[in-house]
Amino acid sequence: MLLTRHARERLIKRLAKRRKPERIYSALWEFLERSRRIDVNERIVIFTDGMKSLVCSRLDCDRLPLREIKERVGGISTAYKCVFLDGRTARETVPKKFLESVPDGEYCFYINGEKRSLYIGSEPPLLAITLRPAKRSERILPENLIAKAKNMHRGDSDDEGQKPGQSQG
């Protein structure tokens, strides 16, 4: 998953609390593990844990073997933000050096020379747009709260038959 500048700043402020890329992606992957995925349409995906929602856009990629990816990035000598999804690795380094740690195989490959970002993974890349509070429809309620809400709606509360302000005792 690649990040826009806005999403990066939101992740730093709300989840990671540090600016190092390793910390940002570590917090991002922890968030994704406890989140559920909502496919809004063919381009937009939302990951939500009930409190926060990460809004992402799908990016187009090429599916290539690792040796072909190495050929494509061989001439790049400047540092890129490199992300390897399968190995959960994210670093800012020269792509040729970064690819040395990636095992052989066929991967989805995305590179943006203007933004200096590179993605390699078994799944197509996503671009995180923003991290925002979850909307009501995205919230996950624990089972006990749902049961309590249903009981309150039917009038089966624990303090039934008492005047407001009185407690049992």
- Tell me if 165 is assigned to some domain: no
- Tell me if 164 is assigned to some domain: no
Smallest CA-to-CA distance from 86 within 3, 8, 1 is with 1
Q: Are residues 41 and 164 in contact, defined by beta-carbon separation less than 8 angstroms?
A: no
Q: Which residue range forms the structural domain that includes residue 152?
A: 1-59+125-156
- Asked whether residue 134 carries a pLDDT value surpassing 80, the answer given is yes
- For 65-120, how does the pLDDT look when each residue is reduced to its tens digit (9 = 90+)? 999 999 999 999 999 999 998 888 899 999 999 999 899 999 999 999 999 999 99
Total number of domains constituting the chain:
2
- Tell me if 169 is assigned to some domain: no
DSSP-based three-state secondary structure for 126: strand
Q: Is 116 left (phi over 0), alpha (psi -120 to 50) or beta?
A: left
Cα separation, 50 vs 143, whole angstroms: 13
Q: For the chain, first and last CA: distance in Å?
A: 56
**116 and 146 assigned to the same domain:** no
Beta bridge partners of 112: 117
Q: Are residues 8 and 24 in contact, defined by beta-carbon separation less than 8 angstroms?
A: yes
Strand order in the sheet with 89-93: 62-65, 106-112, 117-121, 80-84, 89-93
Beta strands in the chain (DSSP E): 2-3, 36-39, 44-48, 52-58, 62-65, 80-84, 89-93, 106-112, 117-121, 126-133
State the pTM of this model.
0.76
Place of tokens 């599916």: 63
Range of lowest pLDDT (31-35, 64-68, 122-126, 139-143)? 139-143
Place of tokens 């494509």: 72
Cα separation, 97 vs 164, whole angstroms: 69
**72 and 89 assigned to the same domain:** yes
- For 31-73, how does the pLDDT look when each residue is reduced to its tens digit (9 = 90+)? 999 999 999 999 999 999 989 999 999 999 999 999 999 999 9
More confident residue, 131 or 167: 131
Helical H runs in 51-142? Answer: 66-73, 95-98
**55 and 66 assigned to the same domain:** no
pLDDT at position 145 is 45
Query: Residue 36 sits in a domain of what CATH number?
Result: 3.30.2310
DSSP code of residue 15: I
